[in-house]
């Protein structure tokens, strides 16, 4: 197949966040933008500026980031019926967002226009044309999302095409055909996209699919075969109902199987860690059976195959796991191999080779810990301490004698209590000195944090400058209910460096304690390094 | 499209059980056979009689079951190289299993024959032809699984076709083309199956796909379009690596979208419960985002859609949820309106209109709580209790006097401590009676759960039947670090009903307590409703 450039359009932060149970903080969204940009995504849809203050803040903040490659898109709708584009608040919000790309959704299914929007077919065409033209005149790159296009085309092809024509003539950079209710099958998508291409050979088209028939990825690929040049999707396919097309799977299929160019095969090796990273921030785990990035995606079992695999691996691996940064029979980790470990260690300031450390021993240590629930994807601080232990430079800043946390609550406080109080007492040793300190807070972890800082601040005044900026709790194997292993990840900063740490235990308090201790110890390490000690 | 009968072939018990972490007992396998038979599956592959005693026992037991419709298949390989079919132990085991259908896998990829099997291309053809003929002569219906057929065809079409010809001429009832490594895309599958059909128009072909490219369902449908008349797959798509084609999704797509007849539209309404049932026995949960059967498969949220759905449901539902025995769910959230609240309340058994409750007041209450961090999308139990408060039927099962949780830890336990212990003491009142109970557990929430159950079980023996099946913790506004609001969601079941509850507090222990209390109270409500009280 001839090499073909396909524009990648990520909507994780907008359509993906529609997914039941997923809420991304502003910090999460900015962190995801950073990783998507590094991965080489072309357009990142950030949200719906009209809808809420968090999205407004997002566009302000993202404007200040210097992205290598990606362009940010703001999402909204065409102007309202019987309102001129220039007077429409929604369009004004989109311009105010400052995003270089503006994506507006509009209806293309006649029945939807008449029954849901309750206006005339002509008025809907006016809304599309005028809105696109208005945004183009304001200097924006406009993507028109043709909502329900495939149902619309089946119901009334000429009207659906008229909507596309209105957007194209008004100057839309791309018309993205949306398979909104997710029910179409690949052969229908290929046929309809082909017909649209034939009608408007000069225009650029994209595709936006949902997975209700279990065919979102295939539908997206079918559209590309029929001439679509822009693919929309979300990381790991998160989205409402059964989700969107998984953009990462689409990208891997396009790059490795259809001779298309998207992020490029070099960046493609980030796929697995990106998938895991976004899942962490969304506080959901990637199914171990997820295509390409799942922990089991290249794992083999079954007497029938085992012997054959040894002699003929390509017979049982559709692509090389390394091509997508995954590994055969390996826990998913950005540290899948020695080379990447050595490189990662260097980036943290540890030259394992020069220190004569056996990289394999470190890898085994990491894999054992990952098997117990640790993850180092977002915990450079804990990884740094682990490396220091192997290099032999680790010195505990203090040792724990004991801690006790007490949470007291009185009377029936109803569904949202305010008067619970937590108290933590820690007893620690710094060298010969013993310190006992008690801290209070609304929550037990805050109380522990306060007590620990109080206990060590005399010995380590630098901790006064350190602050926790993010605290995440994740239950592994949640089906175990309250017995589940708890993973706590903490992000801390001292105003110069920022680092993440991880703690794991059956006990959420203890997992938090372990992450807290790593956080303070790594912070002290960073301070020493900066002081040239 | 003309109506077309497609034979359904389930391999959950054989290829599905290859899935990492899934082991089915003999009883599980027999129970699954019963349900697959009731659902109308045509052929149920039971296992590999040569491989283990459990499978041998399975074939004995299943022989004694009176199935309405399904035929049982035993799975194995062709005879070994340089062994006559009549002398092959594997084939003898297959006949000994007594299964009316025998499926044997054989190689069709020249490189596999030479490098993995390490024999000649002619000997492999002999193994296929002789094995099929031998089993047919013994009165069995024979399915030939053409392993790696698609890779084989791409590498050496004429040899791959020669393997098919050998099986067809020897009397195979169906030659099932296996996309063994899962890397093919739908357009390739459709083209290759079409070519095979053209070469052997009189033969019957089936398709067996894996999901490594994220296209297993689409590949299966593509094969049917090209003339395959038998579809293989597993319930929920379980299988090794990324799994097999999800047979249930394939069946729904064939029945509802491709004019094919499989189990028939009446039995199709069992799809969702079958999916959940098999997941239960496999001890994995169906993703809430699974096509057709997932809890969120027909759930809606999002300001863009909410109002339109009420007026025009078919615009956002690719099929009627009832067609597959699932239900539409309107997610209660800031984005939802009165209509969806009333509908949701009815689904929980509360007629707000009849009860004269002001829906707006309930919406405002929900809005306020959502602003404080609650979410009711996955907490029907807490929502039900909230509605009961508005309707005026809420009676607290007990009131809290106080609880105290103590978490103790001694010495520096390193990164993964095991010796932390939590102890919880609760003091509660049930009517006039006062109960004090203490519980212990590795974690504080487990300790609270144990203590609370102990305190109320005398008054409410029904709680003994309730168990927590899922426990999630989410930090809201995580940038607040350990001061962040904590949201805890709990899923519980009493074996009949399953419900979710939510608790919110700055204190993770208290948030958990609130979710626990709601969970037990709503469980007691469900028990009362079932008892007709």
Reported confidence tier of residue B392, pLDDT bands at 50, 70, 90: very high
Q: What is the pLDDT of residue A237?
A: 95
Helices (H) and strands (E) in chain A, counts: 18, 16
Whether residues B508 and A404 touch (CB distance < 8 A) is answered with no
Phi, psi of B62 (to 5 degrees): -65, -30
Domain boundary among A334, A350, A371: A371
- Answer whether residue A144 is part of any domain: yes
Take residue A501 and report the two structure tokens written for it. Answer: 């740490």
Phi, psi of A140 (to 5 degrees): -95, 150
In tens, the pLDDT along A134-189 reads: 999 999 999 999 999 999 999 999 999 999 999 999 999 999 999 999 999 999 99
> If you measure CA to CA, which chain A residue comes closest to B251?
A213
Whether residues B503 and A249 touch (CB distance < 8 A) is answered with no
Q: Is the pLDDT of residue B385 over 60?
A: yes
In tens, the pLDDT along A225-280 reads: 999 999 999 999 999 889 999 999 999 999 999 999 999 999 999 999 899 889 87
Q: Are A247 and A231 spatial neighbours (Cβ–Cβ below 8 Å)?
A: yes
Reported confidence tier of residue B344, pLDDT bands at 50, 70, 90: confident
Say how far apart CA B468 and CA B453 lie, in whole Å.
12
Q: In percent, how much of chain A has pLDDT > 70?
A: 91
Mutate to test the interface with B, among A482, A489, A517, A522 (most CBs of B within 10 A): A482
Do A213 and A328 belong together in one domain? no
pTM beyond 0.90: the answer is no
Displacement of CA A275 from its chain's centroid (Å) = 7
Do A157 and A206 belong together in one domain? yes
In tens, the pLDDT along B147-156 reads: 999 999 999 9
Do A159 and A269 belong together in one domain? yes
Q: Are A330 and A367 spatial neighbours (Cβ–Cβ below 8 Å)?
A: yes
In tens, the pLDDT along B65-123 reads: 999 999 999 999 999 999 999 999 999 999 999 999 999 999 999 999 998 889 999 99
Q: What is the pLDDT of residue A481?
A: 61
In tens, the pLDDT along A485-522 reads: 888 888 888 888 888 899 998 888 999 999 999 999 99
Reported confidence tier of residue A394, pLDDT bands at 50, 70, 90: very high
Say how far apart CA B70 and CA B8 lie, in whole Å.
10
Take residue A131 and report the two structure tokens written for it. Answer: 């809105």
- Answer whether residue A410 is part of any domain: no
Q: Which residues of B touch A453 (CB under 8 A)?
A: none
Q: What is the pLDDT of residue B300?
A: 72
The whole-number average pLDDT for the span B317-326 is 85
Q: Which residue has the higher pLDDT, B301 or A454?
A: A454
Count of pairs with CB atoms under 8 A, one residue in A, one in B: 406
Q: Is the pLDDT of residue B307 over 60?
A: no
Least confident segment among B236-245, B414-423, B460-469? B414-423
Say how far apart CA B433 and CA B412 lie, in whole Å.
43
How does DSSP classify residue B210?
B
Q: What is the pLDDT of residue A164?
A: 98
Q: Are B36 and B5 spatial neighbours (Cβ–Cβ below 8 Å)?
A: no
Q: Which residues of A touch B484 (CB under 8 A)?
A: 471
Q: Which residues of A touch B468 (CB under 8 A)?
A: 481-482
Reported confidence tier of residue B416, pLDDT bands at 50, 70, 90: very low
Do A190 and A161 belong together in one domain? yes
Whether residues B316 and A509 touch (CB distance < 8 A) is answered with no
Q: Is the pLDDT of residue A456 over 60?
A: yes
Domain boundary among A345, A371, A397: A371
Residue among B181, B443, B506 minimizing CB distance to A316: B181
DSSP H or E segment with residue A303: helix A303-311
B234 contact partners, CB below 8 Å, separation of at least 6: B10, B11, B12, B15, B16, B243, B244, B245, B246, B247
Distance (Å) from the alpha carbon of B463 to chain A's nearest alpha carbon? 16
Instruction: Kindly calculate the radius of gyration of chain B based on its CA atoms and give it in whole angstroms.
Output: 28
Q: Is the pLDDT of residue B531 over 50?
A: yes
**CATH number of the domain enclosing B181:** 3.20.20.70
Reported confidence tier of residue A480, pLDDT bands at 50, 70, 90: low
- Answer whether residue A276 is part of any domain: yes
Residue among B185, B190, B303 minimizing CB distance to A257: B185
Domain range enclosing A83: 7-281
Take residue A228 and report the two structure tokens written for it. Answer: 């679509």
Q: Which residues of B touch A420 (CB under 8 A)?
A: 505, 507, 509-510
Vertex B192: Cα angle to B188 and B193 (nearest 5): 115
Do A96 and A140 belong together in one domain? yes
Do A261 and A323 belong together in one domain? no
Q: Is the pLDDT of residue B131 over 90?
A: yes
In tens, the pLDDT along B252-286 reads: 999 999 999 999 999 999 999 899 888 877 767 67
Q: What is the pLDDT of residue A231?
A: 98
Residue among B185, B372, B504 minimizing CB distance to A253: B185
The total domain count for chain B is 2
Q: What is the pLDDT of residue A115?
A: 86
Q: Which residue has the higher pLDDT, A116 or A479?
A: A116
Q: In percent, how much of chain B has pLDDT > 70?
A: 90
Q: Is the pLDDT of residue B9 over 50?
A: yes
Q: Is the pLDDT of residue A344 over 60?
A: yes
Distance (Å) from the alpha carbon of A133 to chain B's nearest alpha carbon? 22
Do A12 and A51 belong together in one domain? yes
ipTM: 0.72
Do B94 and B191 belong together in one domain? yes
Q: What is the pLDDT of residue A324?
A: 87
Q: Which residues of B touch A112 (CB under 8 A)?
A: 308, 312, 315
Whether residues B214 and A213 touch (CB distance < 8 A) is answered with no
In tens, the pLDDT along B46-67 reads: 998 876 667 888 999 999 999 9
Burial-class residue A118 by CB neighbours within 10 Å (0-12, 13-18, 19+): exposed
- Answer whether residue B404 is part of any domain: no
- Answer whether residue A466 is part of any domain: no
Whether residues B507 and A444 touch (CB distance < 8 A) is answered with yes
Do B190 and B319 belong together in one domain? no
Whether residues B478 and A467 touch (CB distance < 8 A) is answered with no
Vertex A112: Cα angle to A108 and A116 (nearest 5): 135
Q: What is the pLDDT of residue A214?
A: 96
Do A182 and A274 belong together in one domain? yes
Say how far apart CA A487 and CA A471 lie, in whole Å.
11
Q: Is the pLDDT of residue B337 over 90?
A: no
- Answer whether residue A105 is part of any domain: yes
The whole-number average pLDDT for the span A447-454 is 92
Do A261 and A310 belong together in one domain? no
In tens, the pLDDT along A294-328 reads: 877 877 653 334 445 556 777 778 888 888 887 76
Domain boundary among A326, A349, A371: A371
Residue among B51, B308, B490 minimizing CB distance to A116: B308
Take residue A303 and report the two structure tokens written for it. Answer: 């007497």
Say how far apart CA B17 and CA A304 lie, in whole Å.
13
Whether residues A482 and B445 touch (CB distance < 8 A) is answered with yes
The whole-number average pLDDT for the span B373-397 is 89
Whether residues B18 and A319 touch (CB distance < 8 A) is answered with no
Q: Which residue has the higher pLDDT, A259 or A416?
A: A259
Do A92 and A217 belong together in one domain? yes
- Answer whether residue A335 is part of any domain: yes
Instruction: Kindly calculate the radius of gyration of chain A based on its CA atoms and give it in whole angstroms.
Output: 26
Q: Is the pLDDT of residue A372 over 70?
A: yes
- Answer whether residue B491 is part of any domain: no
Mutate to test the interface with B, among A307, A331, A476, A507 (most CBs of B within 10 A): A507
Say how far apart CA A122 and CA A164 lie, in whole Å.
13
């Amino acid at each position: 197949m001839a090499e073909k450039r396909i524009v990648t359009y990520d909507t994780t932060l907008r359509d993906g966040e529609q997914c039941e149970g997923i809420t991304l903080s502003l910090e999460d969204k900015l962190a995801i933008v950073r990783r998507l940009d590094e991965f080489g995504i072309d357009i990142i849809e950030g949200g719906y500026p009209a809808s809420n203050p968090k999205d407004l803040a997002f566009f302000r903040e993202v404007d200040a980031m210097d992205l290598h490659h990606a362009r940010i898109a703001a999402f909204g709708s065409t102007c309202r019926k019987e309102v001129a584009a220039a007077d429409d608040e929604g369009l004004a919000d989109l311009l105010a967002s400052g995003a270089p790309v503006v994506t507006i959704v509009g209806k293309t299914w006649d029945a939807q226009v008449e029954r849901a929007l309750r206006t005339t077919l002509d008025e809907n065409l006016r809304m599309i044309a005028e809105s696109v033209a208005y945004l183009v005149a304001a200097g924006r790159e406009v993507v028109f999302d043709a909502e329900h296009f495939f149902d619309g085309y089946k119901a009334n092809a000429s009207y659906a095409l008229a909507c596309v024509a209105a957007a194209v003539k008004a100057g839309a950079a791309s018309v993205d055909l949306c398979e909104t209710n997710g029910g179409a099958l690949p052969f229908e998508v290929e046929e309809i996209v082909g017909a649209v291409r034939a009608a408007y050979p000069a225009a650029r088209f994209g595709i936006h699919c949902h997975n209700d028939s279990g065919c979102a990825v295939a539908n997206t690929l079918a559209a590309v075969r029929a001439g679509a040049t822009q693919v929309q999707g979300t990381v790991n396919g998160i989205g409402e109902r059964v989700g969107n097309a998984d953009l990462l799977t689409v990208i891997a299929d396009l790059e490795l199987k259809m001779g298309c160019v998207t992020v490029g095969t070099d960046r493609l090796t980030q796929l697995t860690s990106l998938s895991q990273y976004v899942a962490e921030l969304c506080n959901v785990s990637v199914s171990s059976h997820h295509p390409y990035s799942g922990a089991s995606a290249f794992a083999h079992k079954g007497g029938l195959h085992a012997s054959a695999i040894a002699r003929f691996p390509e017979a049982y691996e559709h692509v090389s796991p390394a091509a997508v940064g995954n590994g055969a029979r390996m826990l998913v980790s950005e540290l899948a191999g020695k080379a990447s470990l050595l490189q990662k260690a260097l980036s943290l300031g540890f030259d394992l080779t020069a220190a004569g450390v056996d990289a394999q021993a470190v890898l085994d240590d990491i894999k054992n810990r990952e098997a117990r629930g640790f993850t180092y994807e977002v915990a450079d601080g804990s990884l740094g301490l682990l490396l220091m232990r192997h290099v032999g430079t680790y010195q505990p800043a203090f040792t724990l004698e004991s801690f006790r946390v007490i949470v007291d609550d009185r009377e029936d406080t109803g569904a949202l209590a305010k008067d619970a109080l937590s108290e933590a007492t820690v007893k620690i040793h710094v060298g010969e000195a013993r310190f006992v300190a008690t801290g209070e807070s609304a929550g037990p972890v805050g109380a522990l944090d306060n007590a620990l800082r109080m206990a060590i601040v005399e010995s380590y005044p630098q901790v006064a400058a350190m602050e926790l900026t993010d605290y995440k709790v994740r239950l592994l194997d949640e089906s175990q209910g309250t017995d589940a292993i708890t993973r706590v990840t903490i992000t801390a900063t001292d105003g110069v460096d920022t680092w993440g740490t991880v703690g794991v235990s059956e006990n959420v308090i203890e997992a938090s304690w372990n992450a807290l201790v790593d956080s303070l110890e790594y912070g002290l390490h960073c301070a020493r390094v900066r002081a040239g000690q």
